[in-house]
Copies of this chain bind each other. A is one copy, B any other.
Amino acid sequence: MNIYAYEVLLAFVKQAFLHAGMSEKHAADAAGVLLAADMRGIDSHGIARLSGYMRLADKKRINPNPNLRIIHESPSTATVDADAAIGLISAPYAMQIAIEKAKTAGTGWVAVKNSNHFGIAGYHAMLALKHNMIGIAMTNASPLVAPTFSTSRMLGTNPMAFAIPAAAEPPIVADFATTTAANGKLEILQRKSLDAPEGWIQDVNGSSSVNPNELSNGGALLPLGSDREHGSHKGYCLGAVVDIFSAVLSGANYGPWVPPFVAFLDPPSDPVGDGIGHFFGAMRIDAFRPAEDFLHHADNWIRTFRNAKRTNPDQPVIIPGDPERECEVIYREKGIPVHPAVEHDLQKLGERIGIRFGL
């Protein structure tokens, strides 16, 4: 794989967003959020999705000049109409409101409607950390997941992220889809023509399948837990909570009505709300106990878990966020590898919009 400096990719993404009609500030901000995924090694959610966002903009499903605004609020809450903004812009906007609310009310909670995909949830949750707050971010997404006992695709992979500050230790950052496997994992298997493990997907009849292309045949991703005996009803509950907090609280589309990310599929013709929905939270740690006490014990929690007895001496116990942070250190120094298929896609995009992509 060819390696690109962060700044090179950032400049290209910003140019693309400017070409889509975004303001200088929005294009720069959105490019930074998108590339945060690549930097953290979550390459399914980074520059690999740029063409997808651009196609949504072409179809006028992303508004490059949105009027983001609060449409409802209380001392600790707000609801935002993102005016069809790209989620890469609406999510940090909403998270900032949550942080401001938390400064005065102790916590802040913001539901967002009329938005689009927001990149990685963890990025937004982490915005709270420098304020000594716990950050929470979640979003609904294109319906690909079947509830337990169903063959219908009713939920997205609906990720949730939690960012928890510590003192001397790096923060805990948990960011995960509420399914057994994220869609990006299937894409990797498709590229390599490999079978998926049992428990990730079901076929159109609800039977277990190992075909990573099963979703094209009407199959579905499975909620975290895989099957009833292993707790898939709990994964279904988590996906449902994310959907309801993100969309039923905000006035966005929920369940099977969530507009697909892929521009070649039209959104449902009978929407129950506006765009997709997100939900954010910020909790000031000193709204619960003195910050130094919390931070001291967070350090102790992290060290205790990191030093827990290993099953395999060569595989340390992981603190959520460790792998992504370690990846970021390497990529910042050495550059970001871009998969040839993504490289090719970006070259084509570059030709179309008149910006050269390549080394």
- List residues of chain A with CB under 8 Å of any chain B CB: 72-77, 79, 104-107, 109, 111, 134, 146-152, 154, 162, 164, 172, 174, 176-181, 197, 199-200, 202, 205-206, 224-226, 229-231, 233-238, 240-241, 243-245, 248-251, 254-256, 272-273, 283-285, 287-289, 293-294, 297-298, 300-301, 304-305, 308-312, 315-318, 320
Contacts and interface: CB of A to CB of B under 8 A. Distances in A.
B283 A109 contact: yes
18 contacts: A74-B284, A75-B75, A75-B104, A75-B105, A107-B107, A149-B311, A149-B318, A162-B237, A164-B244, A179-B231, A197-B229, A202-B311, A206-B311, A206-B312, A224-B231, A230-B230, A248-B297, A255-B305
A162 B242 CA distance: 11
A320 B272 CA distance: 22
Interface centre among A76, A176, A237 (most CB of B within 10 A): A76
A289 B177 CA distance: 27
A251 B316 contact: no
Given A251-B289, A287-B74, A244 B309 contact: no
Contact of A234 (B75, B176, B248, B249): B176
Contacts of A245: 134
Contacts of A226: 226, 230
Q: Which of A73, A74, A164 has the most CB of B within 10 A?
A: A74
A248 B244 CA distance: 28
B304 A256 contact: yes
A272 to B, nearest CB: 6
A224 B254 CA distance: 25
Given A76-B287, A180-B225, A248 B152 contact: no
Contact of A240 (B150, B230, B255, B305): B305
A54 B243 CA distance: 41
B172 A240 contact: yes
A39 to B, nearest CB: 20
Which residue, of A106, A148, A162, has the highest number of chain B Cβ atoms within 10 A? A106
Interface centre among A154, A249, A316 (most CB of B within 10 A): A249
B107 A109 contact: yes
A238 B176 CA distance: 10
B77 A288 contact: yes
A272 B297 contact: yes
Contacts of A285: 249
A285 B74 CA distance: 11
A152 B309 contact: yes
Nearest to A311: B206
